[in-house]
Amino acid sequence: MKADASDRIDPRAMVKGTMLRAHLSWATSRFGTGYEPVRQRLSEPVLALLSRPILPTDWIPVSSLIELDRAIADAAGEPPETTWLALGRHSAALNLTGVYKSFISSEPHRFFERMTVLHHQFQSFGKSVYERTGDRSGRIRIESPSTYSRVYCVSGKGYYEEALRLLQAPGPIEVRETECATAGAAACVFELAW
């Protein structure tokens, strides 16, 4: 699948294997083992990557994750953003109740502050900054992104929504992306409320 014109992908940009594994898990639950409708839409390099076991700690090219997400959305036949949100939510649900269960905190501010400190353990690009904006609201800024894609931002929004649900935030939960590097902003900014 081709990248969108608003994407900027640094070929050195990497993400942890947990993200790819979570998105493959969603594809498997939707399309069955082998997720053939998705595989038919992938390039040879991504198929080669998927032909080996992906460990949670492996570093994966973000370009491969974005290509996979575009292929999943195309195969799903829904508006792409609907699928990308679902992928982000599934990633949070799978990882924050599994491998990274210890990151869950009963206090959303603490969770998001901790998440920004650990940012570079999960992706090799951008800098994450968290700011409390109220008792039940905050702002995440992904600054200086050398790599960005609408796919990644929408999936991130879904991840933040599901994380707040898992944190049992009282709600109503609202996550809005108010600035995006794909639209020319210097940072991707997410406003969170619960």
Taken in order of first residue, the domains within the chain and their CATH numbers are 14-193 (3.90.1520.10)
pLDDT band at 191 (very low <50, low <70, confident <90, very high): very high
Distance CA 18, CA 185 (A): 28
Residue 59 one-letter amino acid: W
CA count, 13 A, side-chain hemisphere, 106: 0
Q: Output the pTM of the full model.
A: 0.93
Mean pLDDT in residue range 156-183: 95
Q: Work out whether strand 137-143 and strand 14-16 pair parallel, antiparallel, or are unpaired.
A: unpaired
Distance CA 95, CA 124 (A): 19
Residues 119-139: tens digit of each pLDDT: 888 999 999 999 999 999 999
